[in-house]
Amino acid sequence: TNDLYGKAALVTGGSRGIGEAVALRLARDGADVALTYQHSRERAERVVERIKAAGRRARAIHADSADPAAVRAAVETTVAEFGRLDILVNNAGTGVMAPIGEIAAEDVDRVLHVNVRAPYLACQTAVAHMGEGGRIVTIGSCMAERVAFPGASLYATGKAALTGLTKALARELGPRGITANLVHPGPIDTEMNPADGPNAEYQSGLTALGRYGRPEEVAATVAHLAGPGGRYVTGASIAVDGGFTA
């Protein structure tokens, strides 16, 4: 489709995994897309080349989500590059899976900085530039709704916080015609959670569909929310989890 033609998007963590699929999908739907990365410069540039080959503008931005100045600068760079910002996808995320007794205070800071503070600051910076029709889509996790196995205290704490951010922003930005929604993926086959990993069979078994999802299956819902189909959806948490939370 050409639903997003003329729109400008920023996807955090767009070098691989779910963020890569989201960046490619938004571009396929017509948007110009900036994407951030932390380490994977070459992979980010490859995503940019694929977007440009499809005829859209694209830009890779090095921005560690743990760094507040870098997060704000990524938003400003996107606006400077495309002259506008319509869609913010807070996707970059990290996790430490361990029993609570083994989690250091530094782990708490790092995970919450990347998974919570960065989306917060990106939203704050982005909404100063967004007009009517603006869209914020944040990638949460099914673990925000159902923590189905131990070791996830830190990850689930951060992901659950995004519900508050999303609902509060929906209320605050609704009068400006800007929506804010949360997408909760289930087990998705990426480097963070490979479908052939040690815990994969167990996770598949917790879904209703009995399988991992693909990054493109999350990207489809993000694109829907970012496009005209998402016009009347705001403050919502949408599971794309194969029934993990059913």
Catalytic residue positions, numbered: 155
Q: Which stretch binds ligand NDP (CB under 6 A): 15-23, 24-32, 48-56, 172-180?
A: 15-23
Q: Shortest Cβ distance from residue 76 to ligand NDP (Å)?
A: 16
Q: Which residue in the set 30, 46, 94, 129 belongs to the binding site for ligand NDP (CB under 6 A)? A: 94
Q: Which of 27, 58, 66, 116 binds ligand NDP (CB under 6 A)?
A: 66
The residue from 28, 40, 86, 166 that contacts ligand NDP (CB under 6 A) is 40
Q: Which of 92, 162, 180, 206 binds ligand NDP (CB under 6 A)?
A: 92
- Dihedral sign computed on CA atoms, order 169, 117, 153, 137: positive
Instruction: Tell me the per-residue interface mask from 157 to 196 with ligand NDP, x by CB under 6 A, - otherwise.
Output: ----------------------------x-xx-xxxx---
Among 5, 39, 42, 100, binds ligand NDP (CB under 6 A): 39
Between 3 and 45, name the residue whose CB sits nearer to ligand NDP: 45
**Tokens found for residue 192:** 């963070």
Contact footprint for ligand NDP (CB under 6 A): 13-19, 36-40, 63-66, 91-94, 114, 139, 141, 185, 187-188, 190-193
